[in-house]
Chain A
Amino acid sequence: MITHISFWALAVVAVLAGAAVFYVNSMARASYALAVSFIAVGVQVLLLQQNYVGVVTILMMVMEMAVMAVYMVMFMGMNPALMPMSMVHGKRHALAAAVGSFVLLAAGAVLIPWPARRDAPPADLTKALGEELMGPKMLVMAVVGAVMAATIVAGVVLAAHRTRYDRFGDDLRHRPAKDPQPGGVGR
């Protein structure tokens, strides 16, 4: 009973906090409203006994929103950050897209004939879910993870406008390195 009530209460919190993202007029508030919404969803997932997925949702989303708020404030220039500003752009298209996708998903949820449970749920729901989702593709996913990490590193290296020749001179012998901001290891 309590579980049901808290589940629905959290659902309301999640939706309201999600709506607040568009209603508030500051970037920090919008980011953290979104974080609250995600945390409510994470706790809902916890209530569904998907503990790992639930806690990881909270972990990832808090971190992500913290970073997002910081970057928005940094890169938008600091003015608009504290300057009251509207969080909605392109209202008409956005509204159409939002209503459209809501109707589509809701229709799917309501109209699809979901299968009934055949036997008892497995002991470890998270593991079962993971195997069902990933199953034979686990190796692929593991490899893709490493490739993505390598891509990020390579991307940053290629994008950085300073190279080792800037740091160490043309013969790479100049020590200490010429850095605008020296680090603590003394490379």
Chain B
Amino acid sequence: MPDTVTTVPAGWALAAAAILGLLATFAAVLDGVFTARAAGAGPSGLTRPFGELARLMRQRRRTTVAADTLLWRIGSSGLLFMALMIVTVVPLGEWTLFDLDVGVIWFNAMDVLAWAFVWLTGWGANSVHSLVGGYRFLAHGLAYELPLMFALVAPAVAASSLNVGTVASAQADLWFVVWMPVAFLVYCTGVVAIAVWGPFTPALGSDIAGGVTAELSGADRLVFQGGRYALLAAGAAFAVPMFLGGGAGPVLPGWAWVLVKTVALLAVFVWLRRRLPAFRPDLFMEVGWLVLLPAVLVQDLLVAVVAAWRA
């Protein structure tokens, strides 16, 4: 794996978006298959995302009484925007779109946008259930956000850099996931949470008729749900340079390894959704502050000591 990354011309952003789209589609197909298999009847679920696409494209857009339509629409399309912004700093092997020297902070700046967008989606519709969903997301956010931020500190400290490419190449000997597993797990928790996925779905819970999504239909629902899959994919892709050695691996070229690792992690995220019950926000709040945050701080301390000792 080369130490330097090449910045490709901006036109390649379309290719990056296409790859993100493919990854998101993969996640949706996989989820469809798992769901169909658990249901035990009906079609295989392989085509479910495409049918859903057709269905939502055909469905009318809906409005509610006294909705703040502008903020509502911004919120529902925001997740997709976040995912696209995140992948700009993820190097695909030796190429990157945006070789930002503070790429790790960039990811962080993008992930806090979820606070704004998910809440706005819940708030804008002017409906009880979607607002309750929005606040449930914030309650989760209070618990996952700080641990996520500190989890991102560990690889940056170990690599002495905030540049994503440099963090990836600092793992030539040993992947960071091996000696900072706590940070990795907390990072994964955070990614699943910003995608409102798996155990973090109370914000979209069926007990509140779909929560944040309760009033979304047609194109709005499509971009919101698509954005969730895209965020999951972008989070998995960002984990590769941060924890999983970037493009390092035998035989295959760097870009292929990045994709393979991303797909593998993404598949795990999708699979977990059906396996885990929801984390109720009131319970998870205490876990976030009393378990995850101290654990990840201790992890940071250990990493800092090792980094200082090495230097």
Query: Which residues from chain A contact B70 at a C-beta distance below 8 Å?
Result: 29
Q: How far is the CA of A181 from the CA of B125 in the complex (A)?
A: 29
What residues of chain B have their CB less than 8 Å away from a CB belonging to chain A?
66, 68, 70-71, 74, 100-102, 105-106, 108-109, 112-113, 115-116, 119-120, 123, 126, 135, 138, 162, 279-280, 282-287, 290-291
3 smallest A-B Cβ distances: which pairs? Answer: A184-B283, A183-B286, A59-B109
Q: Which of A55, A63, A65, A185 contacts B287 (CB 8 A)?
A: A185
Q: Chain A: which residue is nearest B115 at the CB level?
A: A66
Query: Which residues from chain A contact B101 at a C-beta distance below 8 Å?
Result: 51-52
A55 touches B112 (CB 8 A): no
Query: Which residues from chain A contact B68 at a C-beta distance below 8 Å?
Result: 26, 28-29, 82
Closest CB in chain B relative to A87 CB, distance in Å = 15
Q: Which of A28, A52, A58, A82 contacts B120 (CB 8 A)?
A: A28
Query: Which residues from chain B contact A10 at a C-beta distance below 8 Å?
Result: none
Closest CB in chain A relative to B191 CB, distance in Å = 17
A28 touches B105 (CB 8 A): no
Q: How far is the CA of A181 from the CA of B126 in the complex (A)?
A: 27
B102 touches A66 (CB 8 A): no
Interface string of A66-82 (1 = CB under 8 A from B): 11011001000000001
B138 touches A59 (CB 8 A): no
B116 touches A59 (CB 8 A): no
Interface status of A35 (Cβ within 8 A of chain B): yes
Q: Chain A: which residue is nearest B66 at the CB level?
A: A82
Closest CB in chain B relative to A38 CB, distance in Å = 11
Query: Which residues from chain A contact B106 at a C-beta distance below 8 Å?
Result: 55
Q: How far is the CA of A169 from the CA of B180 in the complex (A)?
A: 41
Q: How far is the CA of A69 from the CA of B120 in the complex (A)?
A: 10
A51 touches B102 (CB 8 A): yes
Q: Show 11 A/B contacts (Cβ-Cβ < 8 Å), sorted by A.
A: A32-B120, A59-B108, A62-B109, A66-B116, A66-B119, A73-B123, A82-B68, A82-B126, A182-B283, A184-B279, A184-B282
Query: Which residues from chain A contact B162 at a C-beta distance below 8 Å?
Result: 52
Tell me the A74-133 residues at the B interface (CB within 8 Å): 82
Interface status of A56 (Cβ within 8 A of chain B): yes
A63 touches B285 (CB 8 A): no
A184 touches B286 (CB 8 A): yes
Q: How far is the CA of A51 from the CA of B106 in the complex (A)?
A: 10
Q: Which of A26, A70, A184 contacts B284 (CB 8 A)?
A: A184
Known: A32-B120, A52-B105, A184-B279. 4 other contacts (CB 8 A): A26-B68, A56-B109, A62-B109, A185-B286
Interface status of A187 (Cβ within 8 A of chain B): yes
Q: Which of B105, B279, B285 contacts A183 (CB 8 A)?
A: B285
B285 touches A184 (CB 8 A): yes
Query: Which residues from chain A contact B285 at a C-beta distance below 8 Å?
Result: 183-184
B116 touches A62 (CB 8 A): yes
Q: Chain B: which residue is nearest A26 at the CB level?
A: B68
Question: Beyond A55-B105, A56-B105, A59-B108, is A32–B119 a contact (Cβ under 8 Å)?
Answer: no
A51 touches B71 (CB 8 A): no
Q: How far is the CA of A58 from the CA of B66 in the complex (A)?
A: 30
Query: Which residues from chain A contact B138 at a C-beta distance below 8 Å?
Result: 70
Query: Which residues from chain B contact A32 at a C-beta distance below 8 Å?
Result: 71, 74, 116, 120
Q: Which of A59, A62, A185 contacts B105 (CB 8 A)?
A: A59
Closest CB in chain A relative to B131 CB, distance in Å = 8
Query: Which residues from chain A contact B119 at a C-beta distance below 8 Å?
Result: 66, 69-70
Q: How far is the CA of A28 from the CA of B117 in the complex (A)?
A: 12
Q: How far is the CA of A183 from the CA of B283 in the complex (A)?
A: 5
Closest CB in chain B relative to A46 CB, distance in Å = 9
B282 touches A185 (CB 8 A): no
Q: How far is the CA of A182 from the CA of B101 in the complex (A)?
A: 43
Q: Which of B105, B116, B282, B291 has its CB near the most chain A CB atoms (within 10 A)?
A: B116
Query: Which residues from chain B contact A181 at a C-beta distance below 8 Å?
Result: 282
Q: How far is the CA of A28 from the CA of B121 in the complex (A)?
A: 12
Q: Chain A: which residue is nearest B118 at the CB level?
A: A66
Q: How far is the CA of A173 from the CA of B74 in the complex (A)?
A: 51
Q: How far is the CA of A59 from the CA of B119 in the complex (A)?
A: 17
Closest CB in chain B relative to A31 CB, distance in Å = 9
Closest CB in chain B relative to A83 CB, distance in Å = 10
A55 touches B116 (CB 8 A): no
Q: How far is the CA of A52 from the CA of B173 in the complex (A)?
A: 28
Closest CB in chain A relative to B213 CB, distance in Å = 19
Closest CB in chain B relative to A164 CB, distance in Å = 15
B71 touches A28 (CB 8 A): yes
Query: Which residues from chain B contact A35 at a C-beta distance below 8 Å?
Result: 116
Query: Which residues from chain A contact B105 at a C-beta distance below 8 Å?
Result: 52, 55-56, 59
Query: Which residues from chain B contact A73 at a C-beta distance below 8 Å?
Result: 123
